[in-house]
Amino acid sequence: MALPSTTEIIEDLEFFDDWEDRYKYLIDLGDEMPKMDPKLHTRERLVKGCQSNVWIDVQPAGDKLCFAVDSDAIIVRGLLALVMAAFNNKSAADILAFDVQGYFQRLELEQHISPTRGNGLRAIVARIQSIATATRAA
């Protein structure tokens, strides 16, 4: 099953009245993401700066970057789903042009996750953006 778009996620989250329901939605999004092959859980793919273990793998497909992501924490898998809705199967230029901070503000995300989760989320985004930057330079 394909993840919803960033616009659909924003609309879905606005539908819920409280953050407990929004967290359940995030967990469901994480459950819907394709599973990453455990063989890809390597130190090279591990994102530094995350409280939980987070792995990111990328495979180019034409001018698009296809990511496989995983975490050992269910809420972080949900946060990864939000990030994948913004970045997966996009060109490096599209990834770098996307207003991820504006997206997170629309979701009211950072005021509802712990500071350590917020730091981890920024580390995930920075890793993906650095991959996109390296891809454009290549």
Residue 50 is among the residues annotated as catalytic for this protein: yes
In this structure, are residues 76 and 52 in contact, taking their beta carbons and an 8 Å threshold? yes
**Residue among 3, 26, 50, 124 flagged as catalytic:** 50
Beta-ladder partners of 46: 55
Reduced to 3 states (helix: H, G, I; strand: E, B; else coil), residue 69 is strand
Catalogue the E-assigned strands of 1-138.
54-61, 64-71, 90-91
* Residues annotated as catalytic (active site), given as ranges: 50
